[in-house]
C-alpha cells in the first residue's frame, strides 16, 4: 500500500475514533485505538495527522492537563466522505438488496451511509440524474419473504460476541417446544440465509454446532463463562457439507434432464455446475447433464420450473417429481 493510501485509510479510521462534541479524546488515546485497528504508526505521526485535518475538517483541539484533546463538530457527517456517482449507486443497490435479506435492525446500523448516497444522487444536476430512482433497482432471485424481526439489541450483542469471541447467555424460544429456554452459547459464526439470520454456536461444553435463529433469541448478554473456540471449525466447509441445504447425502449426483429453450438460455449464462453440458435436440429441447449436490434445494429449484424441465436421472428425483404432480392433481379432483 502506498504512503498516500495509508494516510487516507488512517485518516478515515481516525474520524471514527474522534468523538463529536461535547465528548473528546486525547491524542494518546487516539494513537492507542489506531494501533488496536492494526495501524503501525508513532505518536508524532498521529499528532501531525490531527493538525493537518484541522485545515479541512471541523476538528477542535482542547489543551490542558499536559495533553491535547480532540473532538468534531456535533453537526459533522462523515458518511458523505469519498462518495462519487458509482459509489452512491452501489450503496443504493446494496440498501435495496440487504433490506430484503437482513433484519431491519441490522440494516439500520448503516442507514446514514445509505441516506447520504441518496442525498448525493438527489443533488446531482437535474438534467442527467432527475430520474435515477426509476433507473436503478435491485431485486432478489425468487420470492423474497419479509426478513424476520429481531429484537432490539440482539443483533448487536450476537455479532459482537461472534467477532470478539466471548460466550453469551441467551433465552431462546424453541420452535419445537414452543417455550423459552436458557442457554450458554459459544458463538462460532453468523449466517444469513434468505430472510432469516442464524447464529452458529456450541452449547455449554459440547462440540456439535447448533443453529439459532436470531429472531427467536429473546435475551442475549455477555456470559461469565470462558469462551470455548471450536478447534478446526471452518465455516466454508460446514456450509459445503450441506448444513443449510437439506442434504440427502454428502455425495453429488449426476443430473440428466431435458430442458426447454428458455431454461437452456438461463443455464448457459448461469450454469448449475462447472461440468454442466447442454446439447440441443431436434425437437427444440436441450439435453442437460451436470453434477449437482444431492440436496432438497436443487430439487425444489427444478420443481419450480414445472414442465419446462423433464428429469431423467436421478430416478429417485424423477419419481418424487411425478408423485408430487399426482398429489397436486388429486387436490384438484
> CATH number of the domain at 3-76, out of 3.90.110.10, 1.10.10.10, 2.60.40.1220, 3.40.50.2300?
1.10.10.10
pLDDT of residue 88: 76
Q: Region 7-23: what's the mean pLDDT?
A: 81
> What is the three-class DSSP state of 277?
strand
Confidence of residue 140 (pLDDT cuts 50, 70, 90): low
- State residue 248's pLDDT score: 64
Long-range contacts of range 122-126, CB-CB < 8 Å, 24 or more positions apart? 124/85
Query: In this predicted model, which residue has the larger pLDDT, 103 or 269?
Result: 269
User: So what's the pLDDT on residue 139?
Assistant: 67
| In contact, 192 and 201? CB cutoff 8 Å | no
> What's the pLDDT score for residue 147?
78
To the nearest 10°, report the CA torsion of 169, 174, 178, 182: -20
| 66 vs 225: which has the higher pLDDT | 225
Sheet with 277-280, side-by-side order of all strands: 277-280, 286-295, 247-259, 309-313
Question: Which of 100-104, 219-223, 242-246, 267-271 shows the lowest mean pLDDT across its residues?
Answer: 242-246
Q: Give the per-residue pLDDT at 5.
A: 60
> Phi, psi at residue 289, to the nearest 5°?
-135, 140
Render pLDDT for 30-62 as a digit per residue (tens, 0 to 9): 999 888 888 888 999 999 989 888 887 888 998
161: cell is: 460476541
The grid cell for 55 is: 485545515
Q: In this predicted model, what pLDDT tens digit does every residue of 311-332 receive, in sequence order?
A: 999 999 999 999 988 888 888 7
pLDDT at residue 199, as a whole number: 92
State how far the Cα of 189 lies from the Cα of 167, in Å rounded to an integer. Answer: 12
Q: In this structure, what C-alpha cell is assigned to residue 99? A: 433490506
User: For 181, phi and psi rounded to 5 degrees?
Assistant: -145, 145
Top-confidence residue, 142 or 172? 172
Q: Which residues pair with 277 in a beta bridge?
A: 289
The model's pLDDT over 199-235, given as tens digits with 9 standing for 90+, comes to 999 998 888 999 999 999 999 999 999 999 888 888 8
Name the fold adopted by 247-332.
Alpha-Beta Plaits (3.30.70)
Whether pTM exceeds 0.85: no
pLDDT cut 90: percent of the chain above it: 30
The pLDDT mean for the chain works out to: 83
Burial of 134 (0-12, 13-18, 19+ CB in 10 A): exposed
Is it the case that residue 246 has pLDDT exceeding 70? no
Q: State yes or no: pLDDT of 70 exceeds 70.
A: yes
Amino acid at each position: 500500500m502506498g504512503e498516500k493510501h495509508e494516510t487516507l485509510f488512517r485518516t478515515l479510521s481516525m474520524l471514527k475514533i474522534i468523538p463529536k462534541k461535547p465528548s473528546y479524546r486525547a491524542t494518546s488515546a487516539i494513537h492507542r485505538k489506531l494501533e488496536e485497528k492494526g495501524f503501525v504508526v508513532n505518536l508524532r505521526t498521529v499528532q501531525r495527522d490531527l493538525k493537518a485535518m484541522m485545515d479541512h475538517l471541523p476538528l477542535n483541539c482542547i489543551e490542558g492537563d499536559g495533553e491535547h484533546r480532540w473532538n468534531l463538530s456535533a453537526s459533522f457527517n462523515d458518511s458523505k466522505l469519498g462518495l462519487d456517482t458509482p459509489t452512491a449507486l452501489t450503496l443504493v443497490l446494496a440498501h435495496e438488496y440487504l433490506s430484503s435479506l437482513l433484519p431491519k435492525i441490522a440494516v439500520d446500523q448503516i442507514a446514514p451511509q445509505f441516506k447520504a448516497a441518496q442525498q448525493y444522487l438527489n443533488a446531482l444536476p437535474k438534467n442527467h440524474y432527475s430520474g435515477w430512482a426509476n433507473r436503478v433497482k435491485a431485486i432478489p432471485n425468487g420470492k423474497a419473504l419479509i426478513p424476520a424481526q429481531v429484537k432490539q439489541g440482539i443483533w448487536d450483542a450476537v455479532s459482537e460476541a461472534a467477532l470478539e469471541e466471548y460466550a453469551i447467555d441467551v433465552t431462546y424460544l424453541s420452535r419445537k417446544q414452543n417455550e423459552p429456554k436458557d442457554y450458554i452459547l459459544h458463538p462460532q459464526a453468523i449466517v444469513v440465509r434468505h430472510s432469516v439470520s442464524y447464529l452458529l454456536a456450541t452449547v455449554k461444553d459440547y462440540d456439535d454446532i447448533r443453529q439459532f435463529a436470531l429472531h427467536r433469541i429473546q435475551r442475549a448478554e455477555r456470559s461469565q463463562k470462558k469462551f470455548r473456540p471450536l478447534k478446526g471449525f471452518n465455516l466454508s466447509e460446514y456450509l459445503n457439507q450441506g448444513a443449510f441445504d437439506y442434504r440427502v447425502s454428502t455425495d453429488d449426483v449426476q443430473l440428466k434432464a431435458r430442458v426447454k429453450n428458455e431454461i437452456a438460455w438461463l443455464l448457459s449464462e448461469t450454469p448449475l455446475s462447472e461440468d454442466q453440458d447442454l446439447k440441443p435436440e431436434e425437437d427444440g429441447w436441450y439435453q442437460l447433464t451436470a453434477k449437482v449436490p444431492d440436496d432438497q434445494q436443487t430439487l425444489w429449484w427444478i420443481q419450480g420450473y414445472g414442465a419446462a424441465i423433464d428429469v431423467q436421472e436421478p430416478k429417485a428425483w424423477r419419481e418424487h417429481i411425478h408423485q408430487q404432480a399426482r398429489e397436486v392433481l388429486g387436490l384438484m379432483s
